[in-house]
Amino acid sequence: MEVPLARLADFLAARGHQVVVEEESAAQVAARRYAVTPAASIGAHADLAIVVGGDGTMLAIARRLAAIDVPLIGINQGRLGFLTDIPLARMETTLEAMLAGRYLEERRTLLDATVTAHDGEPQRALALNDVVINRGSLGTMIECGVDIDGRATFTMRADGMIVATPTGSTAYALSAGGPILSPTVPAWALVPVAPHALTHRPIVVDDRSTIRVTVIRGRDAAAHCDGQVRFPLAEGESVTVKRAAFTARFLHPEGHDYFAMLREKLHWSETPERLRSRPPHDA
């Protein structure tokens, strides 16, 4: 069976487009002899990036390309596919229309996280989904303090705290009981993970806010950006989160509807009987 990435590359080349393949994926299209470049520099060679994979792959590529404003299209080869929203089975027909100019463009905000440690230079990373401060492998709760725009807001004992973008509101934050934020809403969701006091509830704040989360007590805590970049946190160390200076560009098929996508992915309005009767398929 032909590898989807090779199929995609051949499809694009047959239509006169110059194809550049990220080097870690190049083995899948080696026989085609397409140009190869490292992920860190692919934006310098591309007017458009088409990502074949799941949402995790898209998160990693989007963080790299957002600063240079390269648009992204996602082909879903994963499970849910909130960001990689084009089914593999309809890849060619959908791309044919999009490359002809029939598409919708959407911009998604990113988080800019700075970790302040007791020693050493501050470390920074971007997140498209979320920044998570959580307990480590020792299994004990952490106590953390949350400041919003320099004002002490609350302290809590919990397994962790999630600062999620609208994009990330359907990821870890959703499973922790947070709200779904439409991508057009300029806000962050602050979602506690298993708080000790049930009065600590998710809150939504303006995305112009600066959020600082400080570990007051807790061993082996860490900050995670999109679940892909990790920074250890000692007691007294903090993570400051604010809106990044740029956005990620996503292109969707013509007629794309965010809420229709949620209905499909989250099975809204489905009864248990109908769900059981549906044939298994990869979302």
Q: How confident is the model over 150-160, as pLDDT tens digits?
A: 999 999 999 99
| Residue 134 confidence (pLDDT) | 95
Prediction pTM value: 0.91
| Residue 279 confidence (pLDDT) | 61
**Domain limits, the chain:** 4-102+254-277, 111-245
Please check the confidence at residue 283 and state whether its pLDDT lies above 60. Answer: no
Question: Position 113: which residue type?
Answer: A
CA dihedral 121, 127, 132, 133 (to 10 degrees): 10
Please check the confidence at residue 277 and state whether its pLDDT lies above 70. Answer: no
Instruction: Pick the range with the lowest mean pLDDT from 67-81, 117-131, 263-277.
Output: 263-277
- The question of whether 55 is a catalytic residue gets the answer yes
User: Is residue 41 very low, low, confident or very high in pLDDT (cuts 50, 70, 90)?
Assistant: confident
| Residue 280 confidence (pLDDT) | 57
CATH superfamily of 111-245: Probable inorganic polyphosphate/atp-NAD kinase; domain 2 (2.60.200.30)
Question: Position 58: which residue type?
Answer: M
How far from 203 is each of 76, 187, 197, 270, CA to CA, in Å? 31, 10, 15, 28
Catalytic residue among 55, 85, 112, 130: 55
| Residue 274 confidence (pLDDT) | 64
What CATH class is the domain 4-102+254-277?
A: alpha beta
Output the average pLDDT for the chain. Answer: 91
How far from 177 is each of 192, 194, 200, CA to CA, in Å? 9, 9, 12
| Residue 282 confidence (pLDDT) | 44
| Residue 33 confidence (pLDDT) | 81
User: Is residue 137 very low, low, confident or very high in pLDDT (cuts 50, 70, 90)?
Assistant: confident
Share of the chain above pLDDT 90, in %: 75
Please check the confidence at residue 232 and state whether its pLDDT lies above 90. Answer: yes
User: Is residue 172 very low, low, confident or very high in pLDDT (cuts 50, 70, 90)?
Assistant: very high
CA dihedral 126, 129, 133, 135 (to 10 degrees): -130
Q: Per-residue pLDDT averaged across 83-91, rounded?
A: 93
CA distance 98 to 254: 7
| Residue 174 confidence (pLDDT) | 97
Question: Position 20: which residue type?
Answer: V
